[in-house]
């Protein structure tokens, strides 16, 4: 389990790329191929255990956004670990952290209508999905859909789609030699210049520079 404490970390989990920061929790399952690269001024906590609580193991996505209570407790743990604490106390601190994480997972089951929409988006992230189209899949009005999606995912539908596209583009940049123009097309950008602007805004570097830097 990986918990960023400061800065940003670029991850690849079984070929899928993501960026995480303070407030995220990454569950890395056994046998999962993973690599990560931290940006400047970073700090993170790695917890290696033989067995995680079932709700964490059964997560649909390996990245969990911490709720307020767990977030505050992680800050407390960080301060405690800066001191020379005994193994028994460290074990107790981590045990409570796992309990908070498991409770958060159990109480945050996603609305099935939003799950269906997310599955639909993932099937074709290159399509220009409209709010009306996605709302129809959820059997909701556009207003109801935007509210429910944002509540469940903590991102608007179109921002969620943009995030998926950028993470997919990053995966293709790192793991293939595809030209940037083809990557742009693969993630739904007909105009490579528009893709470059979006990628630069998301990752802080244009695609070619990001590939060379990696």
Pair 202, 174 in one domain: yes
Pair 83, 20 in one domain: yes
Give the whole-number percent of the chain exceeding pLDDT 90.
29
Pair 206, 131 in one domain: yes
Pair 66, 34 in one domain: yes
CB atoms within 10 A of CB 132: 10
* pLDDT band per the 50, 70, 90 thresholds, residue 137: very high
What's the confidence (pLDDT) of residue 167?
83
Pair 168, 190 in one domain: yes
Cβ neighbourhood burial of 133 (10 Å; 0-12, 13-18, 19+):
middle
What's the confidence (pLDDT) of residue 129?
95
List the domain range (segments joined by +) for residue 197: 112-212
Which of 77, 107, 137 represents a domain boundary (last residue)? Answer: 107
Give the whole-number percent of the chain exceeding pLDDT 70.
94
Q: Please answer whether residues 64 and 101 qualify as being in contact, where contact means their C-beta atoms are separated by less than 8 angstroms.
A: yes
Residue-averaged pLDDT of the chain: 85
Q: What digits encode the pLDDT tens for the residues 166-201?
A: 888 887 887 788 999 999 999 999 999 999 999 999
- Mean pLDDT to the nearest integer, 63-82: 80
Query: Which of 154, 149, 109 shows the shortest CA–CA distance to 129?
Result: 149
Find the CATH number of the domain harbouring 173.
1.10.10.60
Q: Please answer whether residues 66 and 74 qualify as being in contact, where contact means their C-beta atoms are separated by less than 8 angstroms.
A: yes
Which of 107, 132, 166 represents a domain boundary (last residue)? Answer: 107
Q: Is the pLDDT of residue 214 over 70?
A: no
Q: Is the pLDDT of residue 66 over 90?
A: no
Pair 99, 117 in one domain: no
Q: Please answer whether residues 199 and 193 qualify as being in contact, where contact means their C-beta atoms are separated by less than 8 angstroms.
A: no
Pair 100, 138 in one domain: no
What's the confidence (pLDDT) of residue 21?
82
User: pTM above 0.75?
Assistant: no
Pair 121, 103 in one domain: no
Pair 18, 58 in one domain: yes
Higher pLDDT, 22 or 202: 202
Q: Please answer whether residues 3 and 44 qualify as being in contact, where contact means their C-beta atoms are separated by less than 8 angstroms.
A: yes
Q: What digits encode the pLDDT tens for the residues 31-43?
A: 788 888 876 677 8
CB atoms within 10 A of CB 175: 11
Pair 78, 38 in one domain: yes
Pair 66, 147 in one domain: no
Q: Which residues, in sequence order, are CB contacts of 12 under 8 Å at separation 6+? A: 18, 33, 34, 35, 36, 171, 174, 175
Q: Is the pLDDT of residue 12 over 90?
A: no
* pLDDT band per the 50, 70, 90 thresholds, residue 44: confident
Pair 40, 126 in one domain: no
- Mean pLDDT to the nearest integer, 37-53: 80
Query: Which of 209, 211, 206, 201 shows the shortest CA–CA distance to 175?
Result: 211
Q: Compute the half-sphere exposure of residue 137: CA atoms within 13 Å on the CB side of its CA.
A: 18
Q: Please answer whether residues 8 and 20 qualify as being in contact, where contact means their C-beta atoms are separated by less than 8 angstroms.
A: yes
CB atoms within 10 A of CB 172: 19
Q: What digits encode the pLDDT tens for the residues 23-32?
A: 889 988 877 8
Which of 90, 107, 124 represents a domain boundary (last residue)? Answer: 107
């Amino acid at each position: 389990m990986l918990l960023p404490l400061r800065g940003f970390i670029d991850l690849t989990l079984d070929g899928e790329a993501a960026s995480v920061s303070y407030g995220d929790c990454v569950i890395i399952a056994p046998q999962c191929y993973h690599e990560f690269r931290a940006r400047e001024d970073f700090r993170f906590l790695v917890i290696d255990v033989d067995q995680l609580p079932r709700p964490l193991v059964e997560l649909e996505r390996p990245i969990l956004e911490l709720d307020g209570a767990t977030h505050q407790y992680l800050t407390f743990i960080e301060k405690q670990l800066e001191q020379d604490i005994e193994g028994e106390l460290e074990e107790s601190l981590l045990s409570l952290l796992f309990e908070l994480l498991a409770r958060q997972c159990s109480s945050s089951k996603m609305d099935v209508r939003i799950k269906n929409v997310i599955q639909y988006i993932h099937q074709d992230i290159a399509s220009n999905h409209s709010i009306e189209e996605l709302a129809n899949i959820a059997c909701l009005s556009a207003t109801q859909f935007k509210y429910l999606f944002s509540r469940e995912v903590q991102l608007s539908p179109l921002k969620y789609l943009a995030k998926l596209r950028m993470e997919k583009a990053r995966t293709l940049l790192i793991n293939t030699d595809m030209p940037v123009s083809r990557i742009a097309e693969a993630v739904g950008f007909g105009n490579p210049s528009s893709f470059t602007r979006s990628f630069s805004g998301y990752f802080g570097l244009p695609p070619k520079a990001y590939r060379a830097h990696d």
